[in-house]
Chain A
Amino acid sequence: MSEPALLQTEGLFSGYGGEQVLQGVDLTIDAGEIVAVIGRNGVGKSTLIRTLTGLLAPSAGTIRLFGEDVTGLPANQRALRGVGYIPQGREVFPELTVRENLMVGEVAGRTRGAPDYDMVHRFFPILKERARQRAGTLSGGQQQQLAIARAMMGHPRLMLLDEPSEGIQPSIIKDISRNVRALNAQTGVAVLLVEQNLDLIVSMAQRGYVMEKGRIVASLDQREITSRDEVRRYLTI
């Protein structure tokens, strides 16, 4: 028997206030993969991520995580099972210190091991330096590192990254991409990235889906997702 997919959605419909943004999304992620869902603004990428985290309830379809149907499970229960969420706009806790933000991240990982501050500080040394600084006073790039580190504290098996490039300088986008890939290589965590930034997509993803008007309209293999021309073609449709 083959291992069940890490994440599998079938016919997922979801949206806000009766308006369906997702119109039947089917996608699969296997262990250890970095998969990008690409598409322009407003095609439903963030709705997809929020539905996968459990913050938004789907109106139809199923979500299977780690071989278990989690469609009706609340967000905190999904996090405890190994979903690490890096929200759009970072959403660090602004009044908490860097260290306290990471403490909140520990909550999700208690069943999978002791908190590993050493690993987080190895990836993001600045967070050790700024441990006692309030997170709201960090720069955008540092907040993005903190949001990723906060998710890492929970020893996730799958990380959901919602537009990490938003509001970040191009030079830092490369760092984010390198760090996430290194994390994936070292810990085996799978990554689902929703993004429209060309540089980030081609430098991070190993496979991809193209989303349009709430549906997956194409599937991209490794050659296609790392080709700037191919990806650009889909982002400018």
Chain B
Amino acid sequence: MEFLLAIFSISYQFGDAFAFLVISCAGLAVIFGMMGIINLAHGEFIMCGAYVTAASARAGLPLPMAIACGALAAAIIGMALERTVIRHLYHRPLDSIIATWGISLIATQGVLILLGPTMQGIGTPLGSTLIGDRSYSIYRLVLFATSIGLLLGLYLLFYRTRFGVISRATIQRPDTARALGVDTRRVYALTFGLGAGLAGLAGGLYAPTMTMVPTMGSTFIVESFVTVVVGGADIFLGAAPAAAILAVIKAALTAWYGQLFGQIGLLVAVIIVIRVMPGGLSAFIKRWQK
């Protein structure tokens, strides 16, 4: 019995870390993998989603709908930014880093000026359950299930829908896709909007567990970049297995040595992966497939 409880406790920690990595990196991975853009404003899209979720929930919307509002708001802002800024930087990856960093600074400072240093949050719903002598948050279990659902949904979107096929074609050969009638600008706008919306979703999902401050995006930034770097350009072959591996490392180190060592373990893992496979897991898996 003691043994089973320990297994459950470790699995719970793994699931929690996995969910956090997958949910926080999905938007970043879509934008990087599909468009090659390194979006340094990723954390601010997350913050946007969290703020809108908290505001709508406190205005009386049920939490799932409030989260949907958060995701939608981030998606709309993302598409507006794509049209005004990002679109002009598609062939200038370094400039796009600077531009998105600028957006990130403006967003954090703007929110600080407009809404102040903190906003009233919302409590974590669903409470907790006692298993053995430890209590577990049910909402965290819901987040784990959501992260699996998210991966499944993205897989279906990119591999089973017309939009998915066309967007993958656009990524592989933009010129040819355009000459075959694909409105590639629209594909890019929608893909960026999707990435921003996923970031907003991450913010919305974690809003009930966090303190609402304008810099809250930075809580997610390290984990999401680490996952995308370890994973490489393909979200399914890369980000998902990367999240699983990193979650094991993080859960194990956190359980035995504490939070700080969990973080250090992630960064060490990144350094090792870049050294051994510069293209990330997905490039490694693809080469191995051939």
* A residues lining the B interface (CB < 8 Å): 53-55, 74-76, 78-80, 83, 85, 87, 91, 93-96, 100-101, 103-105, 107-109, 150-151, 154
Rounded to whole angstroms, the CA-CA distance of A202 and B276 in the bound complex is 54
> Is chain B's interface secondary structure helix, strand, loop, or mixed overall?
helix
Task: Please give, as numbers and ranges, the residues of chain B lying within 8 Å of A95 by CB-CB distance.
Answer: 168, 172
Task: Please give, as numbers and ranges, the residues of chain A lying within 8 Å of B165 by CB-CB distance.
Answer: 96, 100, 103-104
Q: Does B182 contact A (CB under 8 A)?
A: yes
A-B contact pairs, 15 of them (CB 8 A): A55-B179, A76-B180, A76-B183, A80-B181, A85-B180, A87-B179, A91-B173, A95-B168, A96-B168, A101-B169, A104-B182, A107-B181, A108-B180, A150-B180, A151-B180
Task: Please give, as numbers and ranges, the residues of chain A lying within 8 Å of B179 by CB-CB distance.
Answer: 53-55, 75-76, 78-79, 83, 85, 87
A108:B181 contact, CB within 8 angstroms: yes
Q: Does B88 contact A (CB under 8 A)?
A: no
> Is chain A's interface secondary structure helix, strand, loop, or mixed overall?
helix
Task: Please give, as numbers and ranges, the residues of chain B lying within 8 Å of A100 by CB-CB distance.
Answer: 165, 168-169
Q: Does B178 contact A (CB under 8 A)?
A: yes
A154:B168 contact, CB within 8 angstroms: no
A96:B181 contact, CB within 8 angstroms: no
B169:A93 contact, CB within 8 angstroms: yes
Query: Which B residues from 161 to 190 make CB contacts under 8 A with A?
Result: 162, 165-166, 168-169, 172-173, 175-184
A75:B178 contact, CB within 8 angstroms: yes
Binary per-residue interface labels of chain B (139-177) against chain A in the complex, 1 for a CB within 8 Å, 0 otherwise: 000000000000000000000001001101100110111
* B residues lining the A interface (CB < 8 Å): 162, 165-166, 168-169, 172-173, 175-184
Q: Taking CB as reference atom, which chain A residue is nearest B166?
A: A104
Q: Which of B177, B179, B183 has the most CB of A within 10 A?
A: B179
Choose among B172, B178, B181, B184 the residue that contacts A93 (Cβ–Cβ < 8 A): B172
A85:B182 contact, CB within 8 angstroms: no
Task: Please give, as numbers and ranges, the residues of chain A lying within 8 Å of B173 by CB-CB distance.
Answer: 91, 93
A107:B168 contact, CB within 8 angstroms: no
Choose among A79, A91, A94 the residue that contacts B181 (Cβ–Cβ < 8 A): A79
Task: Please give, as numbers and ranges, the residues of chain B lying within 8 Å of A74 by CB-CB distance.
Answer: 178
Rounded to whole angstroms, the CA-CA distance of A104 and B175 in the bound complex is 13
Q: Taking CB as reference atom, which chain A residue is nearest B162?
A: A103
Smallest CB separation, A4 vs chain B (Å)? 22
Rounded to whole angstroms, the CA-CA distance of A86 and B163 in the bound complex is 22
A55:B168 contact, CB within 8 angstroms: no
B180:A105 contact, CB within 8 angstroms: yes
Contacts A55-B175, A55-B178; A76 near B184 (Cβ below 8 A):
yes
Rounded to whole angstroms, the CA-CA distance of A55 and B175 in the bound complex is 7
Rounded to whole angstroms, the CA-CA distance of A93 and B166 in the bound complex is 10
Task: Please give, as numbers and ranges, the residues of chain B lying within 8 Å of A151 by CB-CB distance.
Answer: 180
Smallest CB separation, B155 vs chain A (Å)? 15
Task: Please give, as numbers and ranges, the residues of chain A lying within 8 Å of B183 by CB-CB distance.
Answer: 76
* Interface pairs A-B: 3 shortest CB-CB: A108-B181, A79-B181, A107-B181
Q: Taking CB as reference atom, which chain B residue is nearest A84?
A: B180
Rounded to whole angstroms, the CA-CA distance of A91 and B176 in the bound complex is 7
B169:A104 contact, CB within 8 angstroms: yes
